[in-house]
Chain A
Amino acid sequence: MARMKFYCDAERCIECNGCVTACKNENEVPWGVNRRRVVTIKDGEPGERSLSVACMHCSDAPCAAVCPVDCFYTTDDGVVLHDKDICIGCGYCFYACPFGAPQFPDNGAFATRGKMDKCTFCAGGPVEDHSADEQRKYGANRLAEGKLPLCAEMCSTKALLAGDADVVSEIYRKRVVYRGASVLSRGVSYQNATLRAPSGLKGKASSRE
């Protein structure tokens, strides 16, 4: 069986938040819940990078380990899903998850947590495929249709990759090799790309120095 993985290429992500929008629309998640988010580090500084973060579908998922009602399970595709009929909304998975994937609708009194919601790798949930129940509780089930998660499918720069880990890593390996070769042969440095003064520009940008 495949082992499904996300991979976000920091050299390609342009923080357009297209993945966030695609996810929200496809899965129709409630207000206040964002299964995916884009985080930018060194914003506005040299070396700025953005990454799209959601559930990473860990092999040894911390959320599953700490859940007091044991509502998590891993599918044959390596997708970590949970049963909302079992979930009690305690928030322990939220404390344990390194990526901040579990989200809680806070429409209860005093912002008490409802049932947890997180990225399903567009694989629905533990109810009948494509049923109304599944759509309402878990959102889309694109995997059952032979499609990949919409966030990755709609990524404009193909920064966000989703699919079988072997395929994803092969694509990324090729990118790394091409980049490494171009760094060494043509002096293109991705690390220092934003530090270089634009050579063809003689206007305001270069006159600041």
Chain B
Amino acid sequence: MHRLWPGLVLLLCLCSSLNVAGQTGSEGIAVPNPGSELWREVRQRSQPLPPGGQSEAPGLALLQEIRQRRLSEMPVGRSQLAGSGAGAVFINSLGDTWRRLRMERLVPIGGYLLGGALLLVLLFYLIRGRVPIRAGRSQHKLYRYSPYERLIHWFIAFNFILLALSGLILLFGRSLLLPWMGPQLFSAVASASKEGHNLFGPLFLLALALIFLQFVRRNIYQKGDLTWLLRGGGVIGKKHVPSNFFNMGEKTMFWMLILVGGVTALSGLVLLFPLFGQGRELMALSHLAHAVTAIVMITVIIGHIYIGTIGMEGALEGMRTGYCDLNWAREHHDWWAQKCEERGETVSAEDVARARGEVSPAHIAEERGR
């Protein structure tokens, strides 16, 4: 009889373990067995989640709840350190979204876009070369921009270049400048960029407002603009397309600058003054809006600077001296040139040179003596 006991115990153990494993054992015997029930529980919980994503594990459900919270529902909790910026938010999923958008979209795509724009401009210059004044320079000029208009243009221009460069250093500097500058020097450069960006940023909004008020009337789209667009602004073919004071391309750039630049400036203000209780989410969104609009703007301005400087003969003069060549105006802003000529507003190139002090006093004395 004694020899049978171990075998009986073994048999019982086997039966009970089979019951637990199959979970189909008879419910007849109600013997509490916390250990095996715990394991059964564990096994049940380690099964894959149902399609709804809800598990029975309270911790997981809570985590999912926290992560699924949207902007309007935050903060999810309460903290005695409400002023710490992070407040009572446990996990901010948007932070990771922002990180991925910045590192995997913004930096590479923005880089390709800006590099592509520069390359395109270079290619265009190599293929088309400088657009000349086909009729040659005339002896007459037209008054195009008043000193105030030139002032606000160069104000926004230098402001923009400063902001663009400092912004690009913050966006691309880590991958482009840091490797050869070293951490110490690059930190100084980046710090200066940040401070400069913060200092001159608000001035851009002011400049934008001044530009808008001064030029909005001449930038309203009118009848001939569609023709200009359909004929590609004269890029295709040899014939020039007539236009008014500003052509369709310039008008589009103006409105783009006002609207896109407005978003850039306003989102910049959200980022600049973190003292009105704006949360991380709003600032991360503002940063994305700021960067995307700024890159779009820089891309367009690259084209603007190209056409205004090396891309076209006689284009810079209007903004530099205030006067443009009559033949240039006839070729690029025909309707405006006609209107000016009808009103007899042409001035001789020599008068302009004299008024600007470009003719030497000796030359004038010689003329008088003759």
Are B274 and A106 in touch, CB under 8 angstroms? yes
A-contact bits for B347-361, CB 8 A (1 contact / 0 none):
000000000000000
A-contact bits for B65-88, CB 8 A (1 contact / 0 none):
010000000001111110111111
Q: Contacts A112-B198, A113-B274 given; indicate if A96 touches B99 (C-beta within 8 A).
A: yes
Instruction: Choose among A33, A62, A191 the residue that contacts B99 (Cβ–Cβ < 8 A).
Output: A62
The segment out of B114-122, B183-191, B220-228, B331-339 that lies at the interface is B183-191
The segment out of B90-98, B141-149, B153-161 that lies at the interface is B90-98
Q: Contacts A68-B170, A95-B283 given; indicate if A100 touches B87 (C-beta within 8 A).
A: yes
- Decide yes or no whether A205 CB sits under 8 A from chain B: no
Interface size class of B (residues with CB under 8 A): 35 or more
Are B283 and A98 in touch, CB under 8 angstroms? no
Are B90 and A39 in touch, CB under 8 angstroms? yes
CB-defined contacts of A66 to chain B, threshold 8 Å: 98-99, 102-103
Are B174 and A68 in touch, CB under 8 angstroms? yes
The secondary-structure label for the interface of chain A is: loop
CB-defined contacts of B183 to chain A, threshold 8 Å: 69-71, 83, 86
- Decide yes or no whether B280 CB sits under 8 A from chain A: yes
CB-defined contacts of A99 to chain B, threshold 8 Å: 86, 90-92
- Decide yes or no whether B5 CB sits under 8 A from chain A: no
The segment out of A132-140, A163-171, A179-187 that lies at the interface is A179-187
Cβ of A154 to closest chain B Cβ, rounded Å: 17
- Decide yes or no whether B308 CB sits under 8 A from chain A: no
How far apart are the CA atoms of A112 and B272 in the complex, in Å? 7
- Decide yes or no whether A32 CB sits under 8 A from chain B: yes
How far apart are the CA atoms of A98 and B74 in the complex, in Å? 13
Residue of A nearest to B186 (CB): A69
- Decide yes or no whether A128 CB sits under 8 A from chain B: no
CB-defined contacts of A101 to chain B, threshold 8 Å: 86
Are B78 and A67 in touch, CB under 8 angstroms? no
How far apart are the CA atoms of A177 and B173 in the complex, in Å? 51
Interface residues of A in 88-121 (CB under 8 A from B): 88-92, 94-101, 103-104, 106, 110-113
Instruction: Choose among B38, B77, B280 the residue that contacts A41 (Cβ–Cβ < 8 A).
Output: B77
Instruction: Choose among A53, A97, A106, A181 the residue that contacts B38 (Cβ–Cβ < 8 A).
Output: A181
How far apart are the CA atoms of A20 and B83 in the complex, in Å? 14
B-contact bits for A169-197, CB 8 A (1 contact / 0 none):
00000000100110011000001000000
Are B103 and A65 in touch, CB under 8 angstroms? yes
Q: Report which residue of A66, A96, A112 has the largest number of chain B beta carbons within 10 angstroms of its beta carbon.
A: A96
Known: A94-B280, A106-B275, A191-B58. 19 other contacts (CB 8 A): A37-B86, A39-B79, A39-B90, A53-B90, A66-B103, A69-B173, A69-B186, A85-B184, A86-B187, A91-B271, A95-B280, A95-B283, A96-B99, A98-B92, A98-B93, A98-B96, A99-B91, A110-B273, A180-B42
The 8 closest A-B pairs by CB, nearest first: A100-B86, A111-B275, A185-B34, A41-B77, A37-B81, A95-B284, A88-B191, A86-B187
Which residues does A use to contact B, with CB under 8 Å? 15, 17, 20, 32-34, 37-43, 49, 51, 53, 62, 65-71, 83, 85-92, 94-101, 103-104, 106, 110-113, 177, 180-181, 184-185, 191
A to B CB contacts below 8 Å, 12 in the list: A41-B77, A43-B78, A67-B174, A69-B183, A69-B187, A71-B183, A86-B187, A87-B187, A95-B280, A100-B84, A110-B275, A184-B37
